[in-house]
Amino acid sequence: MERLKAFTNIIIASGVILYLLVIGKNVILPFIMALIIWYLVISIAGLLEHYKMPYPVALTFSILICVFIVYSIILIVNSNINELIREIPKYQGKLQSILIQFSNRFDINLAAQIKEFMSSINLTGIFSDTALVLTNIVGKIGVISIYVLFLLLEYRNFDHKLQRMITSKIKYNKIRAVIQQIAVDVNLYLKIKTIISLAVGITSYIILKIVGVDFAEFWGLLFILLNYIPIIGSFIAVMFPVLVTAVQFQSLSVFIVVLSLLYGAQFITGSILEPRMMGKSLNLSPLVIFFSLAFWGSVWGIMGAFICVPITAIMNIILSKFKSTRPISIALSAKGEIE
């Protein structure tokens, strides 16, 4: 009876939390974006401090670097997205003609089906939604900046407040150890993911620029950003520039070369370098990562897809520290082993 009651309470609590996450999306997501920027600021500041730079100077330089990064991303997207949206109908029409010609070459009459299929794909809507997301982010930049400011002010006092809140030294050390493990694992994940994303983005940009594919800068940035989305991000990133290549050059040899080089870069970085660099840091099952991608993506959209892995890793670390929830942590882990 007690187990049934506890299970019922967990279900009810989970339902309430999910409801709050959905209805509080407009408040929570700017705060999460602020957390990401704050984390980037303190990471860069910590790196500069390591080279004997005073903290106030390191923090100032770190903020300026982050402002430059955010401004550059917005500038690249804004300068390419509107032109891309205007060109999409032309690309879509050319792609339809190519597919019809290809089917006719093999005496397969699929013209009607191809036209129906192409009309069902709303690429203009996809990129228009991307532009809308960017506009919403820019519109909330003031709120995000305020969150970042307060997080920076609170950062240095957090440990002192934690000591004052938890009088028991044993409990304080346990909680501090959990926080440190979360910080180390998330920091390692973000650091490696950023290195891998930059490597594949820059490599893909060079490939596309040499070949002469339109909007190479935009696709390079897309590779960097979408590489943070597990499993499907790299596939989506490759799909768009490859389709543009096929339509732009209308050459099978160029299409195959670009496709092979882009997927080769993704395979080397994602399947060889990243697993070796990441090791066992996150300790999450691939199935759990896929489920978390689907869950957080459905709750918070594209932002949920970006942060699904760190959130799930943090939850797994916390679950592993309590005897009653350790079986759940073992189920979420890669090989059933937890610290």
pLDDT, tens digit, 9 for 90 and up, residues 179-219: 888 777 787 888 888 888 889 999 999 999 999 988 888 88
In angstroms, the CA 6 to CA 290 distance is 28
Taken in order 68, 72, 73, 74, is the CA torsion positive or negative? Answer: positive
Q: pLDDT at position 46, please? A: 82
Q: pLDDT at position 204, please? A: 92
pLDDT, tens digit, 9 for 90 and up, residues 291-327: 888 888 888 877 888 888 888 888 888 788 777 778 8
* 314 token code pair: 């943090």
In angstroms, the CA 29 to CA 137 distance is 10
| pTM for this entry | 0.78
Q: Is the pLDDT of residue 145 over 90?
A: no
* 280 token code pair: 């066992």
Half-sphere exposure of 319 (CA within 13 A, CB side): 18
The lowest-confidence range among 110-114, 157-161, 173-177 is 110-114
